[in-house]
Amino acid sequence: MAGRKQFDIAAALDAAMIQFWRAGYADTSVDDLSRATGLNRSSIYSSLGDKDTLFLRCLERYSTRYGDKYDAALSCAADRPLAAARAFFDVTLERIADPGLPDGCLVAQTVMASPALSAGVAARAREAIGFQHTRLRAALKAGRLDDEAADSLATHLAAVNQSLAVMSRVGTSAEQLRAVVDVALGAVAQRVGARDRHAAAGPRPR
């Protein structure tokens, strides 16, 4: 049919995303993207945009895909905050263990490369990494932790989650990564236990 695209846009975006994820923004050229997607330069520019535009589309695609997985994992936080935190980390560990995906985290490595990025791309990457703290904080609040505890614990869990991505890129074993997660889950269990003990004690007599 006239005007019909002769390639799968979604597949091309996934291929470009993997290329950026594996090599990073600065070390990915348009020729690299052409080889990854199977499209010539003209088709990339006309259908996917210039390098910055395409990278933003890939970053958005990555953030949405894994953001949805994290949200699903945390959906039980109101009743089972510890199980929710475990499921949250499982999303990351499963991604790291997938042999078809590059190591690390596209968002985290993009933030670390901010000096080499345009202002718009760097700002979007910082926004994306901030969403992780926001969703964790909301989940912990749903699990009836107070504002201070939810905020500090969300900061801790987000930092651990990003460290898993970095550690995976230097060859840390799955067992070692799981051990790091177990320590973080211990912090969640401690906070939840303190909350439950406080609730069971009831209000102090006046």
Distance CA 24, CA 18 (A): 9
Q: How many CA atoms lie within 13 A of 67 on its CB side?
A: 17
User: pTM, whole model, 2 decimals?
Assistant: 0.86
User: Locate tokens 């177990």: which residue?
Assistant: 182
Distance CA 174, CA 106 (A): 19
How would you write the pLDDT of the chain (206 residues) with one tens digit per residue? 344 456 689 999 999 999 999 999 989 999 999 999 999 999 999 999 999 999 999 999 999 999 999 999 999 999 999 999 999 999 999 999 999 999 889 998 898 888 888 888 889 989 998 999 999 999 999 999 999 999 999 999 999 999 998 899 888 999 999 999 999 999 999 988 877 665 555 555 55
